[in-house]
Amino acid sequence: MTRRLRWRKFVSAFMLSMTGVCAVVAVSVLFLILGYLIVHGGASVSWNFFTKLPAPVGEPGGGMANAIVGSAKLLMLAMLVGVPIGFLGAIYLAEFSGTATAFIVRYAADLLNGVPSIVIGIFAYSLAVLPFKHFSTFAGGFALGLMMIPITLRSTEEFLRSVPVSLREGAMALGASKWKTIVTVIVPSAYRGILTTILLAFARVAGETAPLLFTALGNRFWSPGWGQPTASLPVAIYNYAISPYEDWHRQAWAAGLVLLGLILVVNIVARGVLARGISVSRS
């Protein structure tokens, strides 16, 4: 082998291993986080964690039942705001709008998707907190719902567009109106994709902290109804992690583990829904 050829082989092997190493690093971040959470928080995830209110500093035990229920309520509200708007908007975008309108709406949705979540928080604060003069579950759910809109809108639109023209024509040739075609053929054909989209949007906002800081605020106790401040897992993690107490830190780790577990489960379910086959064959 000439020197030149040896050099080339060396460069090739070097670059190949570098790209491989980077790929491994990218993946291992997730597993490092997961491992770290399990090591630090695994021991504190107990039955009490899911059923008890937080204990005062120094007292052993206590849980985050209020934060878990709070997060559930916030996410339910977020779905009520984000899913219908995103879904119906996507139908308009995919089926009715002209190219110019579609471009503007799509562009705006992409920008909204890129707006920092803290800014969404401030916006929700001025719209849903200031006029009522108190923090509330409602305001927190509203903020999270705003974040879900662009995600749901854009991906639902993609899935609706991917329904083959032949199916639309098939329905119209049988005398279906445009609306009937959408309701009876297009949406049912794309439902797996739409369901996945909603689950992923859900997982995306489940861990958001910033929009909740000054909307849902946080709460050491139960929050009955929708009009009062409520605890939530991300904000509880934040508050506990910056506290000076060792046992609160452990609780924060545990909450982080529960939250990440929830998001992973939703993600895996979403992939599963999609993997069971696109509901329309592309042939």
Partner 1 sequence: MHASVRPALSVNIPQTGTNTAARESAAALSMRMAISKVNFFYGNKQTLFDISMGIATNKVTALIGPSGCGKSTLLRTLNRMHETVRGARLEGEIVLDGNSIFGQDVTSLRRRVGMVFQRPNPFPKSIFDNVAYGLRINGSKVPIADAVEKSLRRAALWEEVKDHLHKSAYELSGGQQQRLCIARALAVDPEVLLLDEPCSALDPISTAKIEELLVQLKEFCTIVTVTHNMQQAARISDFTAFLLIGQLIEFSPTPQLFTTPGDPRTEAYITGRFG
Which positions lie near partner 1, rule CB under 8 A?
164, 166-177, 180, 184-185, 188-189, 279-281, 283
Taking each helix axis as running N to C, give the angle between helix 137-161 and helix 65-91, from 0 to 180 degrees, rounded to the nearest 10: 40
Within 13 Å, how many C-alpha atoms sit on residue 166's CB side?
4
State in angstroms the smallest separation of the CB of 185 from partner 1: 6
State in angstroms the smallest separation of the CB of 38 from partner 1: 41
Structure tokens at 182: 């959408």
DSSP class of residue 264 equals: H
Nearer to partner 1, 110 or 169 (CB): 169
Nearer to partner 1, 112 or 176 (CB): 176
Nearer to partner 1, 182 or 205 (CB): 182
> With the C-alpha atoms ordered 238, 29, 114, 90, is the resulting torsion angle positive or negative?
negative
Residue pair 206/258 in contact (Cβ under 8 Å)? The answer is: no
State in angstroms the smallest separation of the CB of 169 from partner 1: 6
Rounded CA gap, 78 and 91, in Å? Answer: 20
Nearer to partner 1, 2 or 99 (CB): 99
Nearer to partner 1, 83 or 280 (CB): 280
State in angstroms the smallest separation of the CB of 179 from partner 1: 11
State in angstroms the smallest separation of the CB of 151 from partner 1: 25
Rounded CA gap, 135 and 229, in Å? Answer: 5
Rounded CA gap, 207 and 105, in Å? Answer: 27
CA-wise closest residue to 160 among 92, 99, 80, 106 = 92
